[in-house]
Structure 1
Amino acid sequence: MLQEPGRAPDLAGANKDGQQLFFANMSFQRRGAPRLTPDQRAPWKRRDKNNLPFQPGTGFAAEVGVRSTLFDMAPDPEVIAARVLVEDSDLTRYCAAVVREHAERAGWSKRQRNDVIRSLRLLQILRPTPTAKIRATDVLQLRQYSGNVISTIDVLAAAGLLIEDRPTRLERYFAAKTSTLPPLMKDQLEVWLQVLTEGARQAPRQIPRDPQTIRVHILGIEPIIHGWAEAGFQSFSEVTSADITAALGETGARRHIAGNALKSLFTTIKARRLIFANPTRGMKASPKATTIPLALDAAVIRQELNCPDPVVALAVALVAFHALTGKQLRHLQLTDISDGHLVLGNRDIPLAAPVRTRLAAWLDHRNRTWPGTANPHLLINRRTAPRLVPVGPQFPWVGLTLRPQALREDRILHEIHATGGDIRRICDLFGLSVDGATRYLNTVEHPDLTIEGERVPRT
């Protein structure tokens, strides 16, 4: 439509052979409007000639006005690929200094730095508003355009432009375990989860719990609440003390975990007035179930110690000889090892000769594979080498028959039998509490582990 000067738009004529897809006069600007000076422009458009194109912390807002789209249409990949090559976006210039700093500090290659810059250009093209902060869930969409997700999120977080809206592992776990429950029961569980994760200042007051503790609580009550839902329960207000007693009687070894979780659940939702009475009030705590640690097959341990993968051999050696936990192993740093000694908290551990041999082999492999990495952790992989974070809990145990907890128990069990039950020694050697060490001490004269009064030798 061509609008003639001095005449109003002919809307009827414009819609005669087609449909108008915009609101009239929304973007109409009168002729002769004064031009803005550099000081009057939006902060994100002003440039600092002395240093950065933009001053850090200015120019991008968490929430800005966004026009609703008439319909959703996937971008054309060919058009996106062509625009990325020539895009000179405000976002890229705003994050230029942060990208350069991250590249130098984390030892990025030129290819990875260019991948991050390309990902920032993709975000500028794909997002509807050029001055809004970026949500982490939007960055995840870059995978379909071969974009770099993890490093781009790190850069945006350092620049103060990231809105973290990704669900945590605990939230994803909770959603998977409660997706099929009745709506009212699920709402009550969400209130309980919120109190556990964020704490509560009103009675009963509570500090935030560790995510692993919350996960154990959910694991303990999951079969019970699903059983109630299958029986026709729509809310926890319908649960009685008899129902809880009957449910705990069927849990077996999880009775202690399930009992504590149910007490926490009903105490919380009763305090929030979501139920009329607390059916767990006055209920005695269930006795804690204990297990007997058993020795592993020495042939399996020997096979993993001689694994051709140097990181697997080192991880198995550190746990098999010095009983490190999986968490301690992941967070070990290069500076924790010096002159054949491992400093772990207030413990100074002389490394065994097989451990030192495998440590030297891993360090050689590490330096050859990632010569420019600045990650301070001892164990790294392809995903963490260009960053400064530790490896995940499954590295490098994926595909192995051994688990770090079972391997640690085998080492402590061997030590308690070799010393004849010297509980003080294993407390000092492995950093155990007296209660934790007693679990291993009970295996020394256990009737099921002896043959005619003689101790069963360790294989």
Structure 2
Amino acid sequence: MRLKKGYCRLCWQQASQDAKGEVTVLQPYLEKVRYHQLFLINLRRPRRPGPPIGRNGRRRGRPQTPDPAPVPPPASGWRQPPLFEAHRDFTRFDRRKHARLDNPWLAWARHVAHRLGEAHGWPRRVRLDVDRALVIVLSGHIAGEVLRYSELFPALRSRGLSVERTAEVLDHVGIFHDDRPSSFDQWLERKLDGLAAGIRRDVETWARLLHDGGPRSHPRDVHTVWGYLNRIRPVLLEWSNRYDHLREVARDDILSHLSTVHGSQRKHTLVALRSLFTRAKKNGTIFKNPTSRIRVGQQEHGVIQPLDPRHVQSAVTVVARPADRLILALAAVHAARPKAIRRLQLDNLDIGNRRLVIDGRVRPLDELTLQLALAWLDYRRKRWPDTANPHLLINKHTALETGSISGVSVSAALRGQTATLERLRVDRQLEEALAHGPDPLHLAEVFGLAEKTAIRYADSARALLEQAAEHSASPSGKELGPD
């Protein structure tokens, strides 16, 4: 007997009948149920196969929504500029009173939504939701108006409609403005809090130039900007207690702080400070760069250690979904980086010839990866049969578009594990060096490693092999060998 919160279906039916017209919380009435109105068998006619039958004897199937007729874009002529911008409230929309299905902008947006839905493989539910949302926001639209994200979100989210897909259609039409503050701006505002005004101004200019680029510089990866500012923020807060501007920071201040950090932390801190003061010197806000002629020094790398087999087995046990198992195999068998896994497309998987292309390098497809890939493709075909996303790995969000999954989605299954994707990738490359000998050329050819990286793996493998040889020596210290 199936139970819901400890009560059977008859209890729920009786409690609902007792509380009808009074309250919506049935828990008190469930506790008072002492009798049931029993259901007698064979009083209901068996349902015929197929769609249900209506009153007039016809089959009632799912209503088919006709495709919108192709319409041209609305003609744009002269218009009266608005005197001021007014915030519109779509939460009060009533379809019976406010719907204007003959609006040319609504007709054009419906046609665009139909084309996008076919191109991206939107399911029927998403198409109907987008159509309802377009009726809400475009029934009274006139030429020249721009719809903002802050106006769409409260009205569509309260009705359970897709804000992202609706915004995508409006963006293609050319009448959408995303007024949400960027996550980078919010993060930068938090990191600049507590800095002196003069220091804050230079640091903000430097961070935005790294993120957005400039006339003579390319934009850097956002993770680089995060790492730079997170590394030097403690010393910037310390200087803000004594100084009002970066021009007051002297060389001794730099050396004093570098003496408190060592190894890779010293290197990364000096690189970030040098970038900051170099930009401030070019902008003319400081007179002299205090980080000049301070050597970073050669960083000593330790021996890369292999993963414990127990940690690898724990990672294998954790993953259960087909996509996560394939991601694990790509990292542990083919040493693929998370970014390369995200970029993989269906064309990169050649099942017939048993080949896999990762970052432009052709690799043979082993039996384990082949079976996991087939299992994932079968799940993908059943779960999202109409998706047009060309990437190999997709989820419920990217199945409706053509972009790749996020880095969080790739590494989510192994979060908290010792054997992360990066550790598995490193362990696979080290295992190759141990199995085929510490040859940097072989590692560079197999995995496409840079020269210094391949040499580091070869040195680590050589050190591990020497340690293994020492442990296999005799107790007297002499190696075991032939007579």
Shorter-chain TM range is: 0.7 to 0.9
SS in 2 for 1:221: helix
From the CA coordinates, give the structure whose radius of gyration is larger.
2
- The corresponding residue for 1:237 is 247
Tell me if 1:324 matches 2:340: no
Once the 2 structures are TM-superposed, how far is the Cα of residue 372 of structure 1 from its aligned partner?
A: 1.1
How many pairs does the alignment contain? Answer: 396
Name stretches of at least 5 consecutive residues in structure 1 with no aligned partner.
Answer: 1-49
SS in 2 for 1:349: strand
Once the 2 structures are TM-superposed, how far is the Cα of residue 84 of structure 1 from its aligned partner?
A: 8.9
- The corresponding residue for 2:53 is none
Once the 2 structures are TM-superposed, how far is the Cα of residue 245 of structure 1 from its aligned partner?
A: 1.3
Tell whether the 8 Å contact from 2:338 to 2:410 is kept in structure 1 after alignment: no
Q: Describe the shift of the 1:276–1:119 C-alpha distance in structure 2 as closer, same or farther (beyond 3 A).
A: farther
Q: Identity, % of aligned pairs?
A: 28
- The corresponding residue for 2:113 is 99
- The corresponding residue for 2:161 is 147
Tell me if 1:387 matches 2:401: yes
Once the 2 structures are TM-superposed, how far is the Cα of residue 373 of structure 1 from its aligned partner?
A: 0.9
Q: Which amino acid aligns with 1:102?
A: L
How do 1:181-260 and structure 2 match up within 5 A?
A: 181-201=195-215, 205-229=216-240, 231-252=241-262, 253-260=264-271
Tell whether the 8 Å contact from 1:443 to 1:449 is kept in structure 2 after alignment: no
SS in 2 for 1:323: coil
Tell me if 1:52 matches 2:63: no
Tell me if 1:444 matches 2:444: no
How do 1:208-357 and structure 2 match up within 5 A?
A: 208-229=219-240, 231-252=241-262, 253-288=264-299, 290=301, 292-305=303-316, 307-338=319-350, 339=352, 340-357=354-371
Q: Which amino acid aligns with 1:236?
A: L
Once the 2 structures are TM-superposed, how far is the Cα of residue 137 of structure 1 from its aligned partner?
A: 4.9
Q: TM-score, normalised by structure 1?
A: 0.76
Tell whether the 8 Å contact from 1:84 to 1:121 is kept in structure 2 after alignment: no
Q: Which amino acid aligns with 1:371?
A: P
1:409 to 426, 430, 435: 426
Once the 2 structures are TM-superposed, how far is the Cα of residue 226 of structure 1 from its aligned partner?
A: 2.5
SS in 1 for 2:461: coil
Q: How many angstroms apart in 2 are the aligned matches of 1:161 and 1:76?
A: 16
Q: How many angstroms apart in 2 are the aligned matches of 1:299 and 1:60?
A: 72
Q: How many angstroms apart in 2 are the aligned matches of 1:251 and 1:121?
A: 60
Tell whether the 8 Å contact from 1:256 to 1:289 is kept in structure 2 after alignment: no
Summarize deviations over 1:236-284 as a string: whole Å, max 9, x none: 2221111111122223332111211111111112221222332223322
Q: How many angstroms apart in 2 are the aligned matches of 1:60 and 1:386?
A: 37
How do 1:11-30 and structure 2 match up within 5 A?
A: none
**Over aligned residue pairs, what C-alpha RMSD do you find?**
3.2
Q: Describe the shift of the 1:429–1:64 C-alpha distance in structure 2 as closer, same or farther (beyond 3 A).
A: farther
Tell me if 1:373 matches 2:387: yes
Q: How many angstroms apart in 2 are the aligned matches of 1:106 and 1:329?
A: 22
Tell whether the 8 Å contact from 1:59 to 1:131 is kept in structure 2 after alignment: no
Once the 2 structures are TM-superposed, how far is the Cα of residue 434 of structure 1 from its aligned partner?
A: 1.1
Tell whether the 8 Å contact from 2:356 to 2:363 is kept in structure 1 after alignment: yes
Q: Describe the shift of the 1:68–1:319 C-alpha distance in structure 2 as closer, same or farther (beyond 3 A).
A: closer
Q: How many angstroms apart in 1 are the aligned matches of 2:382 and 2:338?
A: 25
Once the 2 structures are TM-superposed, how far is the Cα of residue 104 of structure 1 from its aligned partner?
A: 0.3
SS in 1 for 2:252: helix
- The corresponding residue for 2:145 is 132
Once the 2 structures are TM-superposed, how far is the Cα of residue 404 of structure 1 from its aligned partner?
A: 1.7
- The corresponding residue for 2:11 is none
Q: Describe the shift of the 1:384–1:271 C-alpha distance in structure 2 as closer, same or farther (beyond 3 A).
A: same
Q: How many angstroms apart in 2 are the aligned matches of 1:83 and 1:248?
A: 70
Q: How many angstroms apart in 2 are the aligned matches of 1:343 and 1:337?
A: 7
Q: Describe the shift of the 1:189–1:407 C-alpha distance in structure 2 as closer, same or farther (beyond 3 A).
A: same
- The corresponding residue for 2:443 is 426
Once the 2 structures are TM-superposed, how far is the Cα of residue 165 of structure 1 from its aligned partner?
A: 4.4
Q: TM-score, normalised by structure 2?
A: 0.73
SS in 1 for 2:344: coil
Q: How many angstroms apart in 2 are the aligned matches of 1:225 and 1:60?
A: 54
